[in-house]
Structure 1
Amino acid sequence: MTVSSPLFTDLYQLTMMQGYHAHGLHREEAVFDLYFRKPPFRGGFAVWAGLEPALDLLEGLHFSEDDLAYLDSLGLFRPDFLDALRGWRFRGRVTAFREGSVVFPHEPLLTVKAPLWEAQLVETALLNVLNFQTLVATKAARCVLAAEASPYGGQIVEFGARRAQGPDGAVSAARAAFVGGAVGTSNVESGRLFGLPLTGTHAHAWVESFPDELTAFRAYAALYPDATTLLLDTVDTLRSGLPNALKVARELRAAGHELRGVRLDSGDLAYLSCRIRAALDEAGFPEVKIVASNDLSESVIASVIAEGGRVDVYGVGTQLATAGGEGGGALGGVFKLAQLGGVPKMKLTGDPAKSSLPGEKRVWRAADGDGTFALDVLTLGEKPRAGQQVSDPTNPLRSSRLPEGLTWADAREVVLEDGRRTGPAETLGEAQARARADLARLPAGTRRPLNPHLYRVSLGEDVAALRDRIAGELRAHLGA
């Protein structure tokens, strides 16, 4: 669902805005970078998601009279500031990776260039939308990569609404999961809002509501003769559910229809799916799909495949909608000031990994001769060249020379100018296709779910020199 209120922010954003206004700083041109420091799930990449809802937010943001009346009631804000907010809207420029791109730590995924009070206000909402959807899209991509490693193929559908963090979380998760490669969702509202394919079977309660399992299966098939997937484990998967499903499959075929699938929701998924696949094939139903659910994750999917499982579709619920699992739970995206009034700014801290990078930067992505992504480099403008020295953002002593034979592309583009989109909104299908294409171009080691190769993001000589100069000036000012 789309955030639309300017009050969807932290209080300190508004109190700082008033302070900027009082000190005449509010119209100073500011540059803020949004980025994260560690890939989620201890992986090697993230899938950038949530950009289109974020742009919707920025385009429509303004203060209504009700908003201003509420702010006035707090007793914190002066009349001249509230009056100034009446004509406020976001008029900035946004430069970003296109949705679905694979992205990495320490590079600006999105840069806001706007008057200071505009850029400051949108921090909370942007981080809320983009952190969560990027996290879920990454989880979905990891599940898709695990499923597609099967010699028989496999697909992911999103089943997580009932375990998501509220209605907004469920809808946002379904959208982001599709960007990450899921082929559909069980959530009807998400299907309506985003045009996502809907999928579903029936619950155990359906079987329990009839005199016996076979009667329940026949009743469901009679209602949906061309869209029937039967849940096999209400009574006994192999001794009851499977034989009854085969009876209904034969009856549907005799009537000119075909059983679409069967679902497993408990038990040893690898063993059961093998037994069911053999029985379906032997009975002449090789096209019937086997769907599995039951607290799945990328590691469970990989385990099922490693043990010879024959699942065709994995319904991933809790772990996808909540982005759970080791290294999950939240994406630590941050929004840091990089320049104000044309003067580069940086956060200096004792932990180099948490220091910010000053200046208005560009992100360049290099590919080798076969199109595989090689590394990303941040510069203050110029395209990197072979032989130039680049360094690690977190360790200035770790540096190297850029090799020959790389093809460079500007990884981001201006997506909002004067607060308005520079082109038509992209579809979810376009974002999903980009994610699939980018994942295919990652080095194989970077795609590994465990102990992945860390993709290089490096600083060009100009960014490194600017950082070192400003850090030196700050330390000198402190007498450090």
Structure 2
Amino acid sequence: MDGTPPRENHAAAGPVGDQEISRQTDAYFNRTKAIVQRFGDARVTYAVFLRRPVVSAPRLMIDWLTKVAAARGTSIEIELMHKEGEWVGAGDPLLYLTGSFTELADLETLYLQKLGPPCVAAHNAYQMCLELPGAAFLAMEARHCAGAEMQEMMAYAAAVGSAAAQREGAKGFVGNANDSTAHWFGQPRGFGTMPHALIGYARSTVRAAEMFHETFPDEALTVLVDYFGREVTDTLGVCQRFPELAAAGRLSVRLDTHGGRFLEGLDPAASYAVLERHVPGAIRRYRSETELRHLVGTGVSAAAIWRIREAMDEAGFPKVKIVASSGFGVTKCRVMNEAKAPVDVVGTGSFIPNTWSETYATADIVSYDGVARVKLGREFLLHRNGERKRSNSN
């Protein structure tokens, strides 16, 4: 990627017809529109903002507004205050919308839906990529989304946050798990080889790998190794079964160990010993309970990743990559980086906002027919000419 999420293959989602917009918007906006139509239109300016710091991700909202304006034969002036991928402070307007009050009144509910969640998710993705800059990320959020529109928003957000982090030197997101939103990452299709279900079907980790390779012989192979709780044993078994793929760097093992147990051969003492061998400094300072769990606890810990890397290197498979998944949010990425965990790829959907109330975007009219006016307490939204950096978008 060149640092900007691709535009191709994307169409603004959401209704553009008046009837559908009327059904989906809040009733008081429909009533406002009817009142303004009766008593006379006004040219208004809305300030649109969030109450928390975010990364600007306005494209889905702008694309939809542009499409609605064209369908209605009206003009909506969009003054973007923070370009896509820029950090935005709490309460700082992301953009100003100017146009007919009649034509804008009933759109607020829908365009806010398309702005807040992507901005927060983009901020999360940006932080995760910066916290673990040496790892590539795969977006695996689709299964946690409430339908196709949310899936589109979250994939777009990951791409925006990733591009911002890539400009600061991180590898960022290189793809995702499905074809539908792969275009946001500059890919023709999603990535992925096998779920746990295939290993259960095959009754053997190695056999599942064989089945995949026989079916898709030209594909690189990533094998889940935690199904039977024999991560080390099955990792080495797969490497020994496919030495050519291993030597060519076309074999990866994926760790997704359940959070209720340790990786094969580890316990608290053994986990500390692994880190002591490789990164003693990581465990010699104060850690919170959460940080300790990420370092030496159950599930996919830093110690677990180091143990798999250690085992593969000792067995002569240094080119086999490690893919890690399970709970990789901002904090876990930070701890992994501090522990220098040798993870090549992180599969994550944890950039989806955890506190949904933080995603609520808000719009307030700040000008009526050129006269500045806003509700008491929101004066900070008033447009101050020359004090804000602006870029125009239609």
Do both proteins adopt the same fold according to a TM-score greater than 0.5, normalized to the shorter chain? yes
Question: Could you say which residue in structure 1 is the equivalent of 2:51?
Answer: 37
Q: Among 30, 36, 40, which residue is 1:14 paired with?
A: 30
2:128 pairs, out of 123, 143, 163, with: 143
Residues 201 and 329 of structure 1: is their aligned pair in 2 closer, same or farther, counting only changes over 3 Å? Answer: farther
Aligned residue pairs, count: 324
Report the Cα distance in structure 2 between the residues aligned to 1:246 and 1:252, rounded to whole angstroms.
8
Distance 1:32 1:358 in 2: 9
- Which one-letter code corresponds to 1:23 in the other structure? F
Q: Does 1:130 align with 2:115?
A: yes
Runs of 4+ in 1 over 6 A off after TM superposition: none
| Mapping for residues 397-416 of structure 1, pairs under 5 Å | 411-416=389-394
Q: Does 2:320 match 1:288?
A: yes
Letter in 2 for 1:215: R
Overall identity of the aligned pairs, in %: 25
The residue that corresponds to 1:72 in the other structure is: none
Q: Which runs of 5 or more residues in structure 1 are unaligned?
A: 40-45, 65-87, 350-354, 362-379, 384-409, 417-480
Amino acid across the alignment from 1:145: L
Q: For residues 241 and 228 of structure 2, what CA distance do their matches in structure 1 show?
A: 16
Alignment of 1:180-259 (within 5 A): 180-181=161-162, 182-191=173-182, 195-196=186-187, 198-222=190-214, 223-252=216-245, 258-259=249-250
Alpha-carbon distance between aligned partners in 1 of 2:341 and 2:62, rounded to the nearest angstrom:
42
CA distance in 1, matches of 2:203, 2:227: 13
The yes-or-no answer on 1:381 pairing with 2:374 is no
What residue identity is the alignment partner of 1:252? Answer: L
SS in 1 for 2:237: helix
Q: Is the 8 A contact 1:217 1:244 kept in 2?
A: no
SS, match of residue 242 in structure 2: helix
What's the CA shift for 1:62? 6.3
Gaps of 5+ in 2: 1-11, 163-172, 258-298
Tell me the amino acid that sits aligned with residue 293 of structure 1: S
Is 1:274 matched with 2:276? Answer: no
Q: 1:339 and 1:248 mapped to 2: Cα distance?
A: 69
* Offset, 1:230: 0.9
Which has the higher Rg, Structure 1 or Structure 2? 1
C-alpha distance after superposition, 1:102-131 (max 9, x if no partner)? 111222111011111223222112211011
1:115 aligns with 2:87: no
1: CA distance, partners of 2:112 / 2:381: 20
2:314 corresponds to 1:333: no
8 Å CA contact 1:339–1:358 kept in 2: the answer is no
Aligned partners of 1:157, 1:210: CA distance in 2, in Å? 26
Q: Would you say 1:23 and 2:39 are equivalent positions?
A: yes
Q: Could you tell me how far 1:414 is from its partner in structure 2?
A: 1.0
Distance across 1 between alignment mates of 2:246 and 2:129: 32
SS of equivalent to 2:351: helix
1:94 aligns with 2:82: no
1:188-217 Cα offsets, whole Å, 9 max, x none, are: 211257744632231111112124222222
The whole-number CA distance in structure 2 between the counterparts of 1:35 and 1:239 is 49
Match of 1:154 in 2: 135
Q: Once the 2 structures are TM-superposed, how far is the Cα of residue 336 of structure 1 from its aligned partner?
A: 0.6
Q: 1:233 offset after TM fit, Å?
A: 0.6
Q: Distance in 2 between matches of 1:310 and 1:2?
A: 39
Structure 2 Cα separation of the partners of residues 193 and 144 of structure 1: 16
Contact 1:10 1:124 in 2 (8 A): yes
| Distance in 2 separating the partners of 1:320 and 1:101 | 17
Asked if 1:57 corresponds to 2:64, the answer is yes
The DSSP-based 3-state class of the residue aligned with 1:311 is coil
Secondary structure at the aligned position of 1:180 is classed as helix
Question: Is the contact made by 2:367 and 2:373 (CA closer than 8 Å) also made in structure 1?
Answer: yes
**Conserved in 2, the CA contact under 8 Å of 1:89 and 1:118?**
no
Q: Give the CA deviation at 1:235.
A: 1.3
How well do the aligned residues superpose, as a CA RMSD in angstroms?
2.4
What does the per-residue CA deviation read over 1:421-458, in whole Å, with 9 as the maximum and x for residues that have no partner?
A: xxxxxxxxxxxxxxxxxxxxxxxxxxxxxxxxxxxxxx
Task: Please give the alpha-carbon distance, in whole angstroms, between the structure 1 residues aligned to 2:180 and 2:240.
Answer: 34
Query: What letter is aligned with 1:54?
Result: M
Equivalent runs, 1:452-463 vs 2, <5 Å: none
Contact in 2 for aligned 1:231/1:241 (Cα 8 Å): no
Distance in 1 (CA, whole Å) between partners of 2:151 and 2:306 is 32
Q: Say if 1:188 and 1:54 are closer, same or farther in 2 by CA, change over 3 A.
A: same
Q: Tell me the secondary structure at the aligned position of residue 360 of structure 2.
A: coil
User: How much has 1:277 moved relative to structure 2?
Assistant: 1.3
Which amino acid in the other structure matches residue 357 of structure 1?
Answer: F
SS of residue in 1 equivalent to 2:96: strand
Say if 2:145 is the partner of 1:164.
yes
8 Å CA contact 2:48–2:95 kept in 1: the answer is yes
- AA partner of residue 232 (structure 1): V
Contact 1:338 1:346 (8 Å CA) reproduced = yes
Tell me: CA distance 1:183–1:218, structure 2 relative to 1, closer, same or farther (3 Å).
Answer: same
Q: Secondary structure at the match of 1:381?
A: coil
The farther-off stretch of 218-227 and 108-117 is 218-227
